[in-house]
């Protein structure tokens, strides 16, 4: 079963706007990772946040993690058309070890020029 659930399922914005995607999960985790997928092919790793971290930044990306609420958010600032893709969160549950990443069904982001 999918542990991660992304919200919203789809998001449509204009270039330059910010995009926020949320992820909720069910069990305690070791870490949470965000990935981008273009056109249903390979996943590109964006950022990893450990369970003892609350916020991380990477370029235009900002990820937060709230383990008390079992949720994470991904913020893309000043979005570009090239950011159009599906975004997935993936958790490494404590009880299954680090290898079994559990993915949500993703948020489809459309950035219009």
Site residues (vs another protein, CB under 8 A): 2, 4, 30-31, 33, 35, 40-45, 48, 50-51, 88, 90, 92, 97-106
Q: Give me the least distance between CB of 38 and another protein, in Å please.
A: 10
In 10 A of CB 25, how many CB atoms?
A: 22
**Helix, strand or coil, per DSSP, at residue 8:** coil
Radius of gyration of the chain (CA): 13
**Nearest to another protein of 95, 113 (CB atom):** 95
Q: Give me the least distance between CB of 87 and another protein, in Å please.
A: 11
**Nearest to another protein of 59, 113 (CB atom):** 59
Can you tell me the distance from the alpha carbon of 65 to that of 57, in angstroms, rounded to the nearest whole number?
Answer: 12
**Nearest to another protein of 39, 113 (CB atom):** 39
User: Is residue 84 within a helix (H) or strand (E), and if so which, with residue range?
Assistant: none
**Nearest to another protein of 72, 88 (CB atom):** 88
Q: Are 43 and 90 in contact (CB under 8 A)?
A: no
**Helix, strand or coil, per DSSP, at residue 96:** helix
Q: Give me the least distance between CB of 100 and another protein, in Å please.
A: 5
Q: Give me the least distance between CB of 97 and another protein, in Å please.
A: 7
């Amino acid at each position: 079963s999918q542990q991660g659930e992304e919200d919203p399922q789809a998001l449509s914005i204009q270039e330059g706007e910010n995009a926020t995607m949320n992820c909720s999960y069910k069990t305690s985790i070791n870490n949470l990772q965000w990935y981008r997928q273009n056109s249903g092919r390979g996943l590109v790793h964006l950022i990893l946040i450990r369970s003892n971290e609350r916020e991380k930044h990477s370029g235009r990306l900002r990820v937060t993690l709230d383990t008390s609420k079992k949720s994470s958010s991904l913020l893309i600032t000043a979005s570009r058309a090239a950011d159009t893709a599906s975004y997935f969160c993936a958790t490494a549950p404590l009880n299954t070890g680090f290898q079994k990443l559990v993915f949500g069904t993703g948020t489809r982001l459309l950035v219009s020029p």
